[in-house]
Structure 1
Amino acid sequence: MTQGHRITVEQGTRHVRVAHGGQVVAESRRPLLLRETGYPVRYYLPPEDVRTDLLTPSGTQTYCPFKGTASYWSLPDAADTVWAYPEPKPEVALIKDHFCFYEVEEVPET
């Protein structure tokens, strides 16, 4: 990693949810929290906690020198809003095949 750039991945325990168009797309109590210098915390959710039937592969890919190549999926009326790293760099291997969304809300404990 370059000087001053840092990435950490830790197991989270907060209840998080992703909704789109009034429908719950993902819900998890075991998100991975990825913290990267200069970016907001991102929640990576296990595939078992994601309604993958609502996702359409988009063909879009991006490359991050720290995480690897990301593949993207779209939700209805929301292109490229979900991504995952099928072959992440060894430093972030925990996020392999976990889905990340731009909009994730923490669910208050009751």
Structure 2
Amino acid sequence: MADHIRIRKVPGIWTVRSGGAVLGETANALELSEGDLAPVIYFPRSDIAMAFLERTDKTTHCPHKGDAHYYSIITKSSVHENAAWTYDAPAEGMEAIKDHLAFAPSESVTVEQI
């Protein structure tokens, strides 16, 4: 694992919401801290209503985490392009985030501890 990246299980119940819909809620959230960047909460895919997500063609590469694949969030009231990402085959040392999704918080996408 890269020395500047830390992954830990965070306590409590976490939720992600968009367009008035609850996309997921979990007691098994992970927090990924990377250098000076804001921590990112990762939700197990099994705790996300995947019917609201549609995989896109977007990918990005991180030399420490691997290749990220993106999803758009589609609700009755909105579409948020490339608002979530996952690492299907994370780099060595990052295996804890496999089968997890992270969401980009915005005015219409909230990630919070409840």
Q: Following superposition of structure 1 onto structure 2, how do residues 37-48 of structure 1 map, counting pairs within 5 Å? A: 37-48=35-46
Residue 9 of structure 1, CA deviation: 0.6
Q: 1:12, 1:33 within 8 Å by CA — same for their partners in 2?
A: yes
Distance (Å, rounded) in 2 between the aligned partners of 1:94 and 1:42: 13
CA RMSD, 1 decimal: 1.4
Residue 91 of structure 1, CA deviation: 1.5
Match of 1:80 in 2: 82
Residue identity matched to 1:48? S
Distance (Å, rounded) in 1 between the aligned partners of 2:87 and 2:99: 6
SS at match of 1:79: strand
Q: Following superposition of structure 1 onto structure 2, how do residues 90-101 of structure 1 map, counting pairs within 5 Å? A: 90-101=92-103
Match of 2:27 in 1: 29
SS at match of 1:70: strand
Residue 13 of structure 1, CA deviation: 2.0
The structure with more strand, counted as a fraction of residues: 2
Q: 1:42, 1:100 within 8 Å by CA — same for their partners in 2?
A: yes
Residue 105 of structure 1, CA deviation: 1.1
Distance (Å, rounded) in 1 between the aligned partners of 2:9 and 2:51: 25
TM-superposition CA deviations, 1:11-64 (whole Å, max 9, x none): 122211111110001111110110100211111111111011110001100000
Q: 1:32, 1:44 within 8 Å by CA — same for their partners in 2?
A: yes
Residue identity matched to 1:92? M
Match of 2:58 in 1: 60
Residue identity matched to 1:53? A
- 2:113 matches 1:106: yes
Q: Alignment identity in percent?
A: 30
Q: 1:8, 1:92 within 8 Å by CA — same for their partners in 2?
A: no
Match of 1:69 in 2: 67
Residue identity matched to 2:112? E
Runs of 4+ in structure 1 over 3 Å off: none
TM-score of the two chains, using structure 1 as the length reference: 0.89
